[in-house]
Structure 1
Amino acid sequence: MDLLSEVIRTVRVGSATGRVIRQSGPTGIRFPAFDGSGIHILLRGSCWLITEDEEPVALRPGDVVLTSSGAAHGLSRVPHPLAGLPLVDMRPLPPAPGPFDFEFLCGCYQLQHGHAPQYLRVLPDLIAVSPDYAAHPELRALVELLKADRSGGAQMGAGATLPALLDLVLVHVLRQWHEQQGAAGWPDTHDPAIAAALREIHEHPEQPWTVERLSEVAGLPRTAFTRRFTTEVGRPPMSYLIGWRLSRGARLLRETDAPLSSIARQIGYANEFAFSGAFSREYGVSPSRFRAGQAAVRGQEAASGTG
């Protein structure tokens, strides 16, 4: 079951932004908490990943930081309290000229409503990965393409290329982190019973699933299934099911013109009213307003050509 593909499909319910940032001086910059997910790729120099509660993590060129669900963090040339770092200016500015201590790519999916996709939400808030570029030269090529895309200012087609490049980089980084961490590092499961239930939820969200039906798919007693599913995935079965249905619904609202009644049926709701109520509780906005907001973002991206 390729859960990475499902992650990427649901990440893009927000707008993609990115730029190259160059930093000099003894300290660094701070990224406030935000609704979304993002990555940093260190291109030159060395720095430290700074968080509120954890020890600083040393980064070297090529290292990647994944912000799975928008946690506050910073990058600094020397270890430094997070609160003391100046806030970053995330306007689409060209890279600063002149000498610098470290340079990195910054890209993110900014969400207007709701939360980061649930598979990213159950990951650690911040993940540092040292990719094996020798074994995966395609990742280095993607980084170079992303750097060129973000270093040249506004270009024709940039609004389309940035999300595609971020998608591919995120897939490679998550896959390598998963390989480095093993089963304990990823919310996917090596438990065949739970994997069977997840597969059915992902492939057939329209089915009238209950804990009883899912436990039958898994071949487990209901209580044992609920306990193992919650341990493996990080959420109880029905909570996960609702989250997955609504993530799929958000993607369909963004990517299609299908009527609400059709989307409701595709993701397991009896009618558009049931879907609208559940969606509004999760995202804080009605499906219609969500769709209109997403269309406005895409229009702005197309007009600016900057992504």
Structure 2
Amino acid sequence: MDVVSDAISAMRLGHPSSHRLRMDGVERTRLHPFGGAGFHVVLKGGCRLLPDDGDPVSLGVGDAVLLPHGTGHVLADSPGDTEILCGQYRLDCSRIHPLLAELPRVVHLPSRVGGHLELRAAIDLLAGELDETRPGSCVALPNLLDLLLVYMIRSWMAEATSGAWPRVLGDPVTAAALRALHSDPAAPWTIERLAAEVNVSRPTLARRFTTLVGRPPMAYLTWWRVILTATLLRDTSDTLAAIAGRVGYGSPYALSHAFQREFGTTPGRYRKATARGGEGQAVSGRS
């Protein structure tokens, strides 16, 4: 797994949803704040997106916009018929990865000839699936929506002029270290072993990783193991001892202590809260 895939997978709840929105004339559509991320793609006409907190964004045909923090907003139609592809991803914000945390409230991805080819292809495929019911649509739609989210984040990273994570994943040493940690979080990592894995000295790795990511490599690994634990507590019936082995802890006691330090609650209480439908929102992470 890579960092972007892991960041999305750790937060995702259930299946994403999508629909077509048709607006006629000068009507307005209000979308309230949402516990997750939303997106719009203008298929026909044009409109303005008016976020609750921020500047208006004018959208034309082919433009995509991602609202990664579920910001409430209004879609204000320009005169004429407008058709918009809309979707939502339910996310557990108690486990937000810093990669996704630093995304702006509104990510505008204008349509450009020759630009964002993968994103454009995913939009075309998704729009086609929504046009009619086809064999396999129940599998195709959620997977296309997941693909669309990845391509929107990729496109933002390719164009971002600020923010740490485009620099993090563009740095060969730090990116290689993150890939190693995410590929095998249960391995008995030490700073020496990780430095050898990415073929640099320990001081070089520690300096570059800490400067770019904002925490030392082993502190990041500890945090990520706890985030994985939360996912496994919610999505599986594994015992805490089994989970401890999967995420690299020698005992359930040690894992429980680290989990409580991060989430402010015990693993057992966290699991009960998510089983009741709290989806992890009954607790607040300390990331």
The TM-score normalised by the length of structure 1 is: 0.68
Deviation digits for residues 24-47 of structure 1 (CA, Å, limit 9, x no counterpart): 454633433333223222222212
Letter in 1 for 2:272: R
**Alignment match of 1:204 (pick from 163, 184, 190):** 184
1:125 aligns with 2:105: yes
Q: Could you tell me which residue of structure 1 aligns to residue 172 of structure 2?
A: 192
**Partner of residue 180, structure 1:** 159
| Per-residue deviation, 1:275 | 3.5
SS of residue matched to 2:94:
coil
Match of 1:43 in 2: 43
Structure 1 residue corresponding to 2:87, chosen from 83, 101, 107: 107
**How far apart are residue 129 of structure 1 and its match?**
1.0
Q: For the residues of structure 1 that align with 2:145 and 2:92, how far apart are their CA atoms?
A: 18
Q: Distance in 1 between matches of 2:81 and 2:28?
A: 10
Q: 1:291, CA displacement in angstroms?
A: 6.3
CA distances 1:86-118 after superposition (whole Å, capped 9, x unpaired) = xxxxxxxxxxxxx96422222222135624444
Distance in 1 of aligned mates of 2:93 and 2:252: 19
**8 A Cα contact 2:11 2:91, kept in partner:** no
For the pair 1:167 / 2:112, whether they are aligned, the reply is no
8 A Cα contact 1:47 1:75, kept in partner:
yes
Give 1:205 shift.
1.7
Name the SS for the 1:270 alignment partner.
coil
Establish whether residue 12 from structure 1 lines up as the match of residue 16 from structure 2: no
TM-score after normalising by structure 2: 0.72
**Could you tell me how far 1:164 is from its partner in structure 2?**
0.9
For residue 288 of structure 1, what is the aligned residue in structure 2? Answer: 271
Stretch of structure 1 that moved more, 9-18 or 210-219: 210-219
Contact 1:30 1:73 in 2 (8 A): yes
Identity of aligned residues (%): 38
Which residue number in structure 2 is paired with residue 221 of structure 1?
A: 203
Q: Distance in 1 between matches of 2:47 and 2:18?
A: 20
5+ long unaligned stretches in structure 1: 79-98, 297-307
Does the Cα contact within 8 Å between 1:248 and 1:267 map onto a contact in 2?
yes
Take 1:263 and 1:133, find their aligned partners in 2: how far apart are those partners? 48
**What amino acid sits opposite 1:176 in the alignment?**
S
8 Å CA contact 1:230–1:237 kept in 2: the answer is yes
Root-mean-square deviation (Å): 4.0
User: Does the Cα contact within 8 Å between 2:48 and 2:77 map onto a contact in 1?
Assistant: yes
Which stretch shows the higher mean deviation, 46-55 or 163-172? Answer: 46-55
Give the SS at the match of 1:55.
coil
Distance 1:49 1:22 in 2: 15
Q: What is the one-letter code of the residue matched to 1:60?
A: G
How many angstroms apart in 2 are the aligned matches of 1:53 and 1:42?
22
**Are positions 1:245 and 2:225 aligned together?**
yes
Secondary structure of the residue aligned to 2:16 is strand
CA distance in 2, matches of 1:246, 1:8: 16
Q: Deviations 1:31-74 (Å, cap 9, x if unpaired)? A: 33333223222222212232344322221111111222323333
Partner of 2:247: 267
Q: Secondary structure at the match of 1:125?
A: coil
SS at match of 1:114: helix
Counterpart CA distance in 2 for 1:170 and 1:283 is 30
Residue 146 of structure 1 aligns with which residue? 126
Query: Are 1:61 and 2:48 an aligned pair?
Result: no
Distance 1:27 1:238 in 2: 53
Equivalent residue letter for 1:289: K
Change (3 A) 1:166 1:119: same
Comparing both chains, which one has the higher relative contact order based on Cα–Cα distances under 8 Å and sequence gaps of 6 or more? Answer: 1
Residue identity matched to 2:154: R
CA contact (8 A) 1:49 1:76 kept: yes
Q: What SS does structure 2 have at the residue aligned with 1:34?
A: coil
What amino acid sits opposite 1:240 in the alignment?
Y
Q: CA deviation at 1:251?
A: 4.2
Count how many residue pairs are aligned between Structure 1 and Structure 2: 272
Q: Which runs of 5+ in 2 are unaligned?
A: 280-287
